[in-house]
Structure 1
Amino acid sequence: MRRNTCALALLGALCATTAGQAYAWSFADFSRLFNRNWSTTTTKASTTTTKASTTTTKASSTTTRASTTTTRLATTTTSSSLATTTTLASTSTTTLAPSAGLPAAQTCGLANFQQELINRINQIRATARACGSLTYAAAPPLKWNDKLSNAAAGHSADMAAKNYFSHTSLDGRTFSQRMTNAGYNWRAAGENIAAGQTTVDQVMTAWVNSPGHCANLMNQNFTEVGVACVRNDASSYRYYWTMDLAQPR
């Protein structure tokens, strides 16, 4: 019998630069369900890097399908000197252009992947909610960005092919570097990753129920998003998800 394990992790980071000043990201606040130590490296607009270590807590087992699935979560919070405004979202549903669509290799072969994700993300943002001990006002809807989607797909594919789970690529690239390499000029940026969830509903439910992931989803500094899922049945978790959120410069 296949043993299907499931893991979920998040990195949220923001960066802003003005008049030659650079503000570093900070990372804290980890989930009750993650049992590995993560070290997240972020890259500012300058060459300075900061590192935050995390603590983990082992999660209890839950049963999914015919096998036992263990879900682990690790979260960090994000902070930035960017100004935050409170603007209620005018809608919770965004209709994509008729030509919009993603290759099956970037969607784990799931039908209506892009539309279902953007709808679910903006439904979450349209309502004020508590993310752990913090309360967030409703936020404006995010727009889908293909460059962010491509950056996310590249990281999910790399994790699936090389059988690892981290915000940092095995070659040392951070999520912000992957966004830049995809041609996205960001002012603020963050990332959620997950592994093992087999549907959009599963991964979005896991993210919104985790305080750090929820905070990223509700962050009003982010205006655009791209998500990808890559499947490799030979890897540990089979399904590898990456969500990249950002504000363009």
Structure 2
Amino acid sequence: MRFAWHSLHRFVALTLALAAGTALANDCTAPFTPAQAEAALNAWRARGARCGLKSMPAAAPLKWDARLAQAAQTQALDMARRRQLTHAGSDGGHASDRLAQAGYEWGAVAENIARGQSDLPAVMGAWARSAGHCRNAMEPKFQHMGLACVQADEKAPPFWTLVLAAPLR
């Protein structure tokens, strides 16, 4: 009973904050456009990369997809609100669930997340140095991308989410 009352109290407080127009999170202080994100990732894919011990050949360019960006925004916002770097949403969902909710019928999906990088080049560089994130970015089967960055406030670290996917055939 105590848990239910505490949960109800938090729900009411959140509802009142939203009704009053209180922002729980905002976009990062170093904004980027979809075209800039697409260009940065596609330049990386065009060069090919060494991802840990695996050499990845150049891959075809990705196209920005608003549904993937929506899924990325959902996760970046959730991480910023909780101040926790995780692939699992507060509802227990993962990238595949967020894509389905956004209306994207996926055949393959990957998600890169990061915390603390100040801008687009910094986060791309961090992912390039991480073998798993690099392999995700270089995976030739992916056709679409979406990227989001959210900060809970000016003093909080930025939380980044990159969603990569290929449609169900």
Range into which the TM-score falls when normalised by the shorter chain: 0.7 to 0.9
Structure 1 runs of 4+ aligned residues shifted over 6 Å read none
Change (3 A) 1:155 1:149: same
Distance, in Å, in 1 between the alignment partners of 2:104 and 2:121 is 27
Q: Given the two structures, how large is their TM-score scaled by the length of structure 2?
A: 0.79
Q: How far did residue 111 of structure 1 move?
A: 4.0
Q: Does 1:139 align with 2:56?
A: no
Alignment equivalent of 1:186, drawn from 89, 106, 120:
106
Note if 1:245 corresponds to 2:164.
yes
Query: Which of 114, 121, 125 does residue 201 from structure 1 map onto?
Result: 121
Structure 1 residues 159, 234: closer, same or farther in 2, change over 3 A? farther
Structure 1 position 113, deviation (Å): 3.1
Cα offset, 1:165, TM superposition? 1.6
- Residue pairs, 1:96-111, within 5 angstroms: 107-111=27-31
**Is the CA contact (8 Å cut-off) linking 2:31 and 2:119 kept in structure 1?**
no
Confirm whether residue 156 of structure 1 aligns to residue 76 of structure 2.
yes
Higher helix share: 2
Q: Which has the higher strand share?
A: 1
What is the match of residue 75 of structure 1?
none
Aligned residue pairs, count:
144
Match of 2:8 in 1: none
| SS of 2:47 mapped into structure 1 | coil
Q: Does 1:129 align with 2:49?
A: yes
Tell me the alpha carbon deviations over residues 103-153 of structure 1, each in whole angstroms, 9 at most, x when there is no partner: xx7741434432221111000000122111101111000000000000100
CA shift in 2, pair 1:182/1:148, >3 Å: same
Identity of aligned residues (%): 39
Q: Which amino acid aligns with 1:199?
A: D
Alignment match of 1:172 (pick from 62, 68, 92): 92
> In 2, distance between residues paired with 1:153 and 1:130?
28
**What's the secondary structure of 2:149's corresponding residue?**
strand
Task: Return the alpha-carbon distance in structure 2 between the equivalents of residues 219 and 107 of structure 1.
Answer: 28
Query: 2: CA distance between counterparts of 1:195 and 1:116?
Result: 20
The 2-side partners of 1:213 and 1:112 are apart by 20
- The residue that corresponds to 2:144 in the other structure is 224
Residue 194 of structure 1, CA deviation = 0.4
Distance 1:234 1:128, change over 3 A: closer
Q: Which amino acid aligns with 1:240?
A: F
